[in-house]
Structure 1
Amino acid sequence: MSRPVSVPPAVKAPVLDPTVRHLYVHMPFCPSICPYCDFHVLTRRSGQVEAYLERLEQEAAWLASQYDTRLDTVYLGGGTPSFLRDAEIAALVGSIRRHLGWGRQENTLEINPGTVSPARAALWRELGFDRASVGVQSLDDATLKFLGRQHDAAGAREAVTTLICAGFRVSGDLITAVPGQPLERDIHGLVELGVDHISAYTLTIEPGTEFARRGVTVGEDDERAGFERTEELLTAYGFARYEISNYARPGQESRHNLAYWNNRTYLGLGPGAAGHYPATRSPAVLGSGGGEEPLTLRRTNPHLHTWLTGEQGEMEDIDAEEYVTDALFMGLRLRAGLDLDELAQRSGLDVRGRYAAAIAANVQRGWLELDGPRLRATPAGWWVLNRVVTDFLEA
């Protein structure tokens, strides 16, 4: 008589919400390519946008047939989505609404300052966007020229003011650690314009970019100085740093991006878009003897020319352990950190027990702090987060 297979007490059936509540849409076209950019972007050519919109409709219909979707947030990024003509962006939004619905809590449009006018801002609001992520990057003309931006400081100020007047919640993007940048003036200027959210990213030189070919470098001391000074200034202005690179006035955090950082599932629509999906197969309990089934799935779409042929991109199974390490890497970016007991419920793993040594070692180093079930990175830990997460991977 064979013995029944038992489940170790540290492993339980995972409890994940099967409904997808977030959608990212990638629009790859830009009026020009910035020298620091390594995203999937390209300049517009005849017929490409029309082909993109047709394929987008098909992919939206396919996603709707595969997943139970009730959207809380939609994020249209790029590229420069606001570069689309009025009829084109209306067609894009129509495809999303027809097949997948629309966000009940927040709908964000990435916007280049040079594309804004009062009439266009009114159209975007009419289409259903309520949050604008504006690529300001700097309010200093010399810095903007170095970054290869097509707008000037006056144009950025006018764009932000127009969007606020149109009723948008406005987030301003800022690049720090740029040689010669007047950081204090940039931050003061953005705050003075009335934005309620600021995303501050250190200038990073990625392989294959124009800056990399030119030999542009960013010193670690400059990077750290910008990192620390940005927090000092924005905290003094009443913004809270709720994620490594993101600051908000109370209640103005990006709900869509919080879904990423909390390792929730989301759809990825468009060329180069990544998605994190519920597993189409019911997850088996780990240790049951039947082999591991994925807890969730990750798919990254191919770039435009391949995507237009209908190819769906690579699908990757995410098991419970990878799900947990992904959640740790993303969640430790948040000032609030993450709840290990809640993560254990979602994954089925005894997170506190399995990673006790890695947690203890990093608490001792002063890089993590554990408050009941909540694990968070300290400011020192944020600076070495990749090293912290490596300890969990090795565990």
Structure 2
Amino acid sequence: MPGPALDSTVRHLYVHVPFCPTICPYCDFHVLTRRAGLVERYLERVEQEAAWLASEYAADLDTVYIGGGTPSFLRDSEITALAGSIRRHLGWGRAENTLEINPGTVSPARAALWRELGFDRASVGVQSLDDATLKFLGRQHDARQAKGAVRELVGAGVRVSGDLITAVPGQPLEDDIRGLVDLGVGHVSAYTLTIEPGTEFARRGVTVEEDDERRGFEQTETLLTALGFSRYEVSNYARPGQESRHNRAYWEGRTYLGLGPGAAGHYPAREGGGALTLRRTNPHLHDWLSGAAGEAEPIDAEEYVTDALFMGLRLREGVDLADLSRRSGLDVRARYAGAIASNLSRGLLTLDGERLRATPQGWWTLNRVVADFLEG
């Protein structure tokens, strides 16, 4: 079949802000508390790296996503400087610009500033609306602050997504979900509590029971569907028109720029190098501040396809195999015929024309499904 047909223009940007007021006991991201002079050095380095990215890649941005860490922990002058560096060198997203927000950092004046800077979407780390659950999770905000933050952002005209953590012992999940929806959010991200190695929860021996995980997984879908939300990805639900355009870029295997310490990017590969795309992960803060290069991993057509299947099967609509074949240059349906047939027979996938989808059971066992493609 003809060679791959990937867009050489990058249309998405992820920016990592590593600073947090405290480190949550379940967190394994690259985060740290701020110290004198560190944020200033971070902002200077962002300016340099944004200029470098602009010189290396053709960027015409549809989405910008500033995550962390706690980006809203930056002071007003600092978030203004960060947005200025992005705009100056890379532009701004035409379709969507998201800021991750901690409920304890929101005030009417700050919500208005973020909107003025061009953020039209907020991803708010609510996690729960139950004080006992928040205390267990080590969150610094309480339910009252969480509710007030969402109300302020909705009132400022920002599209709001609320994050929830499920499968927490004793959590009143139904109250959390109904309460969040009543506040006016148009999007909910619901993630199972996961105990990662090296976290405080891991050191304390905290565990998550599979029955609790499964119950939360199913209860979340039942409740949010009844409340007018559609499950468009394994862990994400939205009212019509409220899906995360930026996160869809990840799930659809698109390229994106990564800016900041620890940030990952998925880039078009240089012609003639043998790779289809390039994945680069920046070093952690202190090495990144010194200008150290990140790890670069060339992605060939087969790895591109298996990555795209792993991410794309998380979506309700699944993967268009013809489109993936066009983008990768591989005949995906022929190359992975065995893995497709095996998972169809087990009821974990469905195939409608060229559209390959995971069933509800397939979503639950997606790692095993994709392992069949890796082994095939």
Q: TM tier, shorter chain? A: over 0.9
After superposition, the C-alpha distances for 1:97-134 in whole angstroms (9 at most, x for unaligned) are 00000000000000000000000000000100000000
- Say which of 67, 90, 96 aligns to 1:100: 90
Alignment of 1:293-308 (within 5 A): 293-308=274-289
Picking from 290, 298, 314, the partner of 1:333 is 314
> Is the aligned partner of 1:365 residue 2:346?
yes
1:42-99 CA deviation, whole Å, 9 max, x = no partner? Answer: 0011110000000000000000000000000000000000000000000000000000
- How many matched pairs? 376
What pairs up with 1:1-395 in 2 under 5 angstroms? 11-282=1-272, 293-395=274-376
User: Quick one: which amino acid aligns to residue 139 of structure 1?
Assistant: L
TM-score by length of 1: 0.95
| Letter paired with 1:95 | S
How far residue 282 of structure 1 moved from its aligned partner, in angstroms, is 4.3
Query: Which residue identity is paired with 2:316?
Result: R
Q: In structure 2, how many angstroms separate the alpha carbons of the residues matched to 1:282 and 1:110?
A: 38
Which amino acid in the other structure matches residue 140 of structure 2? Answer: Q
**Distance apart, 1:373 and its partner CA:** 0.3
1:219-258 alpha-carbon deviations (Å, 9 max, x no partner): 1111001001100000000100000000000110000000
How far apart, in 2, do the equivalents of 1:83 and 1:207 lie? 26
Indicate the residue corresponding to 1:288 in structure 2: none
Aligned counterparts of 1:231 and 1:330: Cα–Cα separation in 2? 20
Letter in 1 for 2:80: A
Instruction: State the alpha-carbon separation in 2 of the partners of residues 197 and 46 from structure 1.
Output: 36
SS of match in other structure, 1:216: coil
**Alpha-carbon displacement from aligned partner over 1:196-234 (angstroms, at most 9, x marks no partner):** 000000000000000001100001111001001100000
Structure 1 portions without partners, runs of 5+: 1-10, 284-292
How far does residue 280 in structure 1 lie from its aligned partner after superposition?
Answer: 1.7
Counterparts of 1:128 and 1:280 in 2: how far apart (Å)? 32
Residue aligned with 2:165, SS: strand
Q: Which has the larger radius of gyration?
A: 1
Q: Distance in 2 between matches of 1:207 and 1:381?
A: 26
**Gapped regions of structure 2 (runs ≥ 5):** none
Opposite residue 352 of structure 2, the aligned amino acid is: D
How far apart are residue 312 of structure 1 and its match? 2.1
Corresponding residue number in structure 2 for 1:286 = none
2: distance between equivalents of 1:142 and 1:394?
44
CA distance in 1 between counterparts of 2:245 and 2:293 reads 27
